[in-house]
A and B are shown apart, each in its own frame.
Chain A
Amino acid sequence: MSQWLPIAELAGKVRTGELKAVDLVNQAYTTIEDNKDYNAIISLTRDRALQRATEIDQSEHKGRLAGVPFIAKDNFLAFGAETTAGSNILKGFNAPYQASVIEKLEAEGAICVAKANLDAFAHGSSTENSDFGVTKNPHNKSRVAGGSSGGSAAAVTLDFVPFALGSDTGGSIRLPASFCGCVGYKPTYGLVSRSGVVAMASSLDVIGPLARTIDDTAIVLDVISGRDELDSTTIERDDQPYTDLDISLEGQKIGVIKEYKEEGVDEGVKSQIETVIEKLKTAGAEVSEISLPSLPLALAVYYIICPAEVSSNLSRYDGIRYGHSDKDAKTVDEQYLKSRGEGFGAENKRRIMIGTHVLSSGYYDAYYKTAQTVRTKLINEFAEAFSTVDYLLGPVSPTPAFEINSHRDDPMLDYLVDIMTVAANLVGIPAISLPIGSVNDLPVGLQLMGRQKSDRQLLALAKQTEELIK
Chain B
Amino acid sequence: MADLTRDDVVHLASLAKLALSDDEIERFRGELSRILDYVAQLQAVDISGLEPTSQVTGLLNVERLDEVRSYGYDPKILLDNVPEVEDDQIKVRRVL
A321–B13 CA distance with the chains assembled, in angstroms: 21
A414–B56 CA distance with the chains assembled, in angstroms: 26
Chain A interface size range = 35 or more
CB nearest to A355 among chain B residues: B16
Query: Taking the nearest CB of chain B, how far is it from the CB of A117, in angstroms?
Result: 22
User: Does A356 lie within 8 Å of B12, measured CB to CB?
Assistant: yes
User: Does A297 lie within 8 Å of B81, measured CB to CB?
Assistant: no
User: Does B42 lie within 8 Å of A322, measured CB to CB?
Assistant: no
Verify if A376 is at the interface (C-beta below 8 Å from B): yes
User: Does B36 lie within 8 Å of A233, measured CB to CB?
Assistant: no
User: Does A332 lie within 8 Å of B18, measured CB to CB?
Assistant: no
The 8 A CB mask of B12-54 against A (1 = contact, 0 = none) is 1111111110001001100110111011111101010011111
User: Does A353 lie within 8 Å of B45, measured CB to CB?
Assistant: no
Query: Taking the nearest CB of chain A, how far is it from the CB of B37, in angstroms?
Result: 9
User: Does B59 lie within 8 Å of A349, measured CB to CB?
Assistant: no
User: Does B45 lie within 8 Å of A374, measured CB to CB?
Assistant: yes
A327–B64 CA distance with the chains assembled, in angstroms: 40
User: Does B47 lie within 8 Å of A374, measured CB to CB?
Assistant: yes
Given contacts A93-B81, A320-B92, A337-B19, contact A373 B35 (CB under 8 A): no
List the B side residues contacting A427 at CB < 8 Å.
Answer: 56
User: Does B35 lie within 8 Å of A412, measured CB to CB?
Assistant: yes
A324–B83 CA distance with the chains assembled, in angstroms: 7
List the A side residues contacting B9 at CB < 8 Å.
Answer: 353
A229–B62 CA distance with the chains assembled, in angstroms: 9
User: Does B16 lie within 8 Å of A353, measured CB to CB?
Assistant: yes
The 8 A CB mask of A286-318 against B (1 = contact, 0 = none) is 000000001001011101100000010001000
List the B side residues contacting A375 at CB < 8 Å.
Answer: 52-53
List the B side residues contacting A300 at CB < 8 Å.
Answer: 38-39, 41-42
Verify if B67 is at the interface (C-beta below 8 Å from A): no
The 8 A CB mask of B77-96 against A (1 = contact, 0 = none) is 11011111000001011110
User: Does A96 lie within 8 Å of B19, measured CB to CB?
Assistant: no
9 A-B pairs, CB-CB below 8 angstroms?
Answer: A93-B81, A95-B77, A233-B57, A323-B83, A332-B93, A340-B16, A346-B24, A354-B35, A372-B52
**Nearest 6 A/B pairs, CB to CB:** A341-B19, A428-B56, A372-B52, A325-B83, A232-B62, A337-B19
